[in-house]
Structure 1
């Protein structure tokens, strides 16, 4: 198994879900059972802040990194060309980035418990994104919410112009930044 492969074996692809699921569970248990007394509400709010922040991070990464910066743009183009392939960010890379860009700065600016709570929220968002994205591309979309997400993501993947609909788990930031679905783009494609 190559550590930095873009297209994963089924085992490596599923290991990503297992690793992040275990990390979310471990952080939640650590905060819930070993966290400082009297700070539960504060830490829960910090985790919710991390979860909310994930939605903006997801949008920004997808729009500006995966569709803007090389070599990420070229790598992401593989996903657009082969949407059912098991292509995702190598786990080692995503885990290192989360540790270096989320946990470490939060630890340096605050304390261990807030850093864990913020990271828990962001990791929960990342895991939710991974599960939703997998469901959208691999035929598992029961329920109205997932059906709407699938339609939105299909608009992003349409041939010719993937220039909108960057949000996977929410359309909020596409609406805020004006990158939501534009019917006039359908006529041009």
Structure 2
């Protein structure tokens, strides 16, 4: 299936303008992963080499909290934004229609949102080092989500964690609701969206 095979609304959601598209080539897709991997490494190096004014355990705790926070953001974005709000639900419908297409949020947009909604508010509240640690955790979570989501649609898994994630996500694609967590089913169980039929 190609973009032109989709309904006009879904096709228009994938290719909205000449400069803004959700369907990308393989190199742009890989570049997105490389950008976030680079950001994670840069934040790790910055936190390791330039000792923050906070103890290492506090910095590590903020990064861990950011990672755990990502799991809730991932669930909330998928359930309430990508399946609930226009125009995002139309964009996400393109992914459901073509699950193996390289459809994702453009890197410029997602990076801008991380800066605006994660790094800057935490920096305003607590300074550069807490913002760097919290953002590091969130970016590790986002990178894990990106790789896991790609793997659920493109990689083979005969056993283990990835096979369970693939089955979970396939159930979501089949039902178009429930099983919103990609990297974890924890929040689906907490909010009652794990056992939908």
TM-score (norm 2): 0.88
Separation of aligned partners in 2, 1:3 and 1:25: 29
Q: Deviations over 1:47-100 (max 9, x none)?
A: 000000000000000000000001100000000000000000110000000000
Change (3 A) 1:162 1:123: same
1:45 maps to which residue?
61
Structure 2 matches for 1:114-129, cutoff 5 A?
114-129=130-145
Asked if residue 35 in structure 1 is aligned to residue 40 in structure 2, the reply is: no
List gaps (5 residues or longer) in structure 1. Answer: none
Query: Within 5 A, what are the aligned runs for 1:21-100?
Result: 21-36=37-52, 39-100=55-116
| C-alpha separation in 2, matches of 1:146 and 1:107 | 35
Tell me, in whole angstroms, the C-alpha distance in 2 between the residues paired with 1:105 and 1:98: 10
RMSD of equivalent CA atoms: 1.3
CA distance in 1 between counterparts of 2:52 and 2:166 reads 41
For 1:162, the equivalent position in structure 2 comes to 176
Distance 1:37 1:107, change over 3 A: closer
Q: Secondary structure at the match of 1:128?
A: helix
Matched positions, count: 180
Greater displacement, 109-118 / 31-40 = 31-40
- Which residue in 2 is equivalent to 1:175? 189
What SS does structure 1 have at the residue aligned with 2:166? helix
Shift of 1:44: 0.3
For each residue in 1:33-53, what CA deviation from the matched residue of structure 2 results, as whole angstroms up to 9, or x when unmatched?
112266211000000000000
State the shift of 1:32 in Å. Answer: 1.1
**Matches of 1:15 and 1:149, distance apart in 2:** 24
Structure 2 unaligned spans of 5+: 1-17
The partner residue of 1:4 within 20, 35, 40 is: 20
Residue 162 of structure 1: CA displacement?
Answer: 1.3
